[in-house]
Amino acid sequence: MFVITTHGGLYPSILDRTGLLCCLLAAIVHDFEHTGFTNDYLINTEHPIAMTYNNKAPQENHHVAAALQLLVQPEFNFLEGFGWEARLAIRRRVIDMVLATDMKAHMDIMAQFQHQLHPAEKVTHEAGSSSHQSNAKAAPLSMDSHCDPVPEQVSIALQMAIKVADVAHLAAAFPVHYRWVKCLEEEFFLQGDHEAAQELAVTRFMDRQQQGVSQSQAGFFEVIALPMFMTFVHVFPCCQPMLELVLSNYEDWRSLNDVRLAQRPAPIWHMKPVVADRKRKHSTFYESATSSSANDDSLMFSSWNRV
C-alpha cells in the first residue's frame, strides 16, 4: 500500500499526509484477527462474528472494529494528538477502505471507480494556500480535468487502491507469488477439512482430495485480477510496473496449469488497448471498457482476498 500510494500517483496528488496515514493504517489492520475461514463459512456455522454483524461482511467488519477498539486504549492510542473531528474522519476513511476488501463488493466498487474516475491531461491541485497545474505524466492525478478531486472520487480511488494492495502478491516475482498461493491453498484446504468434519458441503477448491486454487489461478486472473489491475493502472499509470508483473505471472500460470490452456489465445473480452511499448515483454495493455457483470464463474472467487 505504501508503494502504491507514494509511487503510484495517489500521494500527494489526491492525498495529504493524514490521508496517507489512513491508507497505511487501513492496510495494516485489514486482516486483524482473521479467523482463517471465509465469510460464508462463518455464516454457515453461525460463528459469533457472523452473528454480531448480521452476516454482513463479518470478517471485514470485525477486522476494522476490533482494530479501532484496540487503538482507543491509552497504551495504543497514537491518534490522540489529532482533534476529535480529525479522528472521526480517520476512522471513517479506514472503515470504508477495510470494508472494500470484501469481495462481494468487488463488482460494485469496480463500476463506481470506472464511472467516477478517468485520466486527466491536466489537473489542478491545491496544497495549502497555493494552487498549480501539473502534467498528468509527471504527477498522474486521475480525476476530472482542471479541478480538485471531490471526496467521493478520493474515497472510491482509495477503496480500489486497497483492493489492489490486498492481492499485491499477484504483482510479485513468480516464486514469491507462487508461495503465497500455496499458503492460501493450504488455508482453504483446512477450511474444507472443517466443513467435511461438520458434514457441511465442502466449498469448491477447498477439498484437499480435489483440485485446489493453485490449479485455477489463470481463471482468477482472467475474471478478477486482470480487469482490476488494468482498470486501476489506466487511471494511475505510474502503477504500470505492477500490471507488467501481473501479466507475466498470468502467462506463467497459463503455461504451468495446462498446456492446452496455454495454447489458446488469452481472453480480452470487454477490453481495448491503451498503452503500447514494444521494448517491454508485454507490448499492449488493456483497460476494462465495460463493467463486468457477476456470473457463476466469478462467484467462486468471492473469498479470494487473503494476502
Around 127, how many Cα atoms within 13 Å sit in the side-chain half-sphere? Answer: 11
Reading the block at residue 190, the C-alpha cell is 483446512
pLDDT-derived band of residue 274, with 50, 70 and 90 as boundaries? very low
User: Domains in the chain, start-ordered, CATH in brackets?
Assistant: 2-166 (1.10.1300.10), 169-299 (1.10.1300.10)
Query: Phi/psi of residue 104, each to 5°?
Result: -65, -20
- Strand stretches in 212-276, DSSP E: 271-276
- Strand stretches in 108-189, DSSP E: 122-127, 130-135
Residue 221 is given by DSSP the state I
Higher pLDDT, 282 or 236: 236
Name, in order, each residue with C-beta under 8 angstroms of 35's C-beta and a sequence gap of 6 or more.
42, 47, 49, 59
Measured between alpha carbons, how far apart are the two ends of the chain, in Å?
12
- Model confidence over 178-191: pLDDT tens digits? 999 999 999 999 99
- Model confidence over 30-78: pLDDT tens digits? 999 999 999 999 999 999 999 999 999 999 999 999 999 999 999 999 9
pLDDT given at position 52: 98
pTM of the model: 0.79
Average pLDDT value for the chain: 82
Output the known binding site: 30-31, 166
pLDDT given at position 117: 87
Output the known binding site for Zn(2+): 30-31, 166
Task: Name the region of 54 (left: φ>0; alpha: ψ -120 to 50; beta: rest).
Answer: left
pLDDT given at position 290: 32
pLDDT given at position 149: 74
